[in-house]
A and B are shown apart, each in its own frame.
Chain A
Amino acid sequence: MAPLIETHGLTLHFGGLKAVDGVDFTLRPGEIHALIGPNGAGKTTFVSLLSGRRLPQSGAILLDGEDISRLPAHARVRKGIAYTFQVTSIFPRLTVFDNVALAVQSHGAKDLPAKTRAALARVGLQDLEAQEAQTLSYGHQRLLELAMGLALNPRLLILDEPTQGLAASEIAGFKSLVQGLVPETTVLLIEHNIEVVMDLATRITVLNFGQVLATGTPAEIRANPAVQEAYLGA
């Protein structure tokens, strides 16, 4: 199967800090791929490079074989790469409906209300559409963020620590939601909660000091001594 995303020797250094250092990475269509690693391993920087929020110093990013390394972020969103923020980033003074409608209408305004409500219903926020987004609870704001990502109808959805700060019951709901997205949407997940990772991911990539330490199925990663030393055992 042809990969959805490939990176070759992707590199971004901040001064002496090698945040992302020659990463070769492959994302297969339809998988849930988790990116794990200790704090400061370069996970968020790496997905920033994928989504175009930062540009690499060297290396290439291919989407379906097309080089997108120099495309600005908004153009990559239009090509189907959606990014949800680690720190919830919504439009706090707009209604829940308007937040999601903005995502829907960015690729055409046809059937706007219906599509917006459909995206809200997928995350269970349909009853709160008239509320101002800033009045939502934290968990609901995370869901709104997710609904905005879904409403973009992406080929790749990048989730940056989506379960951070969620209650246990909310995490269960989140897991089934993500499982329902594949295989139409491919999911790349940065996650600290190792249980969520092991339950959801079909494959896992471990980053350490900006480099790929290992890639494999959850079982392979669990058994990998280098990973155990660097991360799981710690």
Chain B
Amino acid sequence: MTFGPFLLLALMEGLVTAAVLALAASGLSLVFGVMRVVNVAHGAFYMLGAVLAWAVAQHVPGPAAIAFAAAIIVAPLVVGALAAATDGLILKRLNYDPEATIVATIGLLYMIEQATLSLYGPNANPVQAPFEWRIQLPWFGYSGYKLFVVLAACVVLLTLWAFITRTKAGLIMRATQVDRTTARSFGINVDRVYMGTFALGAGLAALAGVLIVPIQQAHYLMGGDTLLLSFIVVIIGGLGSLRGTLIAAIVIGLCDGVISMFFAPTLAKILATLLVAMVLVFRPQGLFGARS
């Protein structure tokens, strides 16, 4: 293959990474924006989504598409419910103290991963894609499922955006984000908003996990890299800014695709993490965030 098609392939791979990342990172960003909680267990919710997709596929007979459709509904709901319980049992009792919740979600991360290890095991397991369809380009064939992932992510993110900007629930969420004391005095049930936000954030991560699992197998430690990349995206995009998060996800997803095709991935990761640290030190509002 010559350079041009090679770059095209890299960009397409990058677009898939960007799509999944945008889903996962928007959940993280939403939780941080509304609740000021840095959820270190976010990667674990993503992993749970993937593992649950595998589990659903084991139990639903018939064509792969039906099992996949079931997983895409069941996994985010189960993970969302788990997150809601976490919020009520742990985060709320810590009064959402930023530092204490980080420590608690670190603990949660260990618990989820290790529980998965004992119930699901240390192996990586594949899940069949809902359809096998390849697009034949002049230079190479490309998985149609991967394009579906990009499309699905776009639909979900558009729905999310409409939910936040156009519905009453979204308005209440934004009001709580601006000032939780005032929101409470206006009769908003802040506890419920927080629980819903945390569940929604976790559900988005789980959905990303379901979408990725036919491409990348389900493994109990798969959340680590996604957590790190989501952090990078959220910080570069500006903490709590959803629009910044989306832009950053696309930029970083594409960069990741291109860079990992042409350079050593470890070096790229080193530079990326250092970049994030520098952004937080010198430009805490992020590279794309406009808010002060």
Q: Do A and B touch directly, given a CB cutoff of 8 Å in the complex? A: no
A interface residue numbers (CB < 8 A to B): none
Identify the B interface with A (CB < 8 A). none
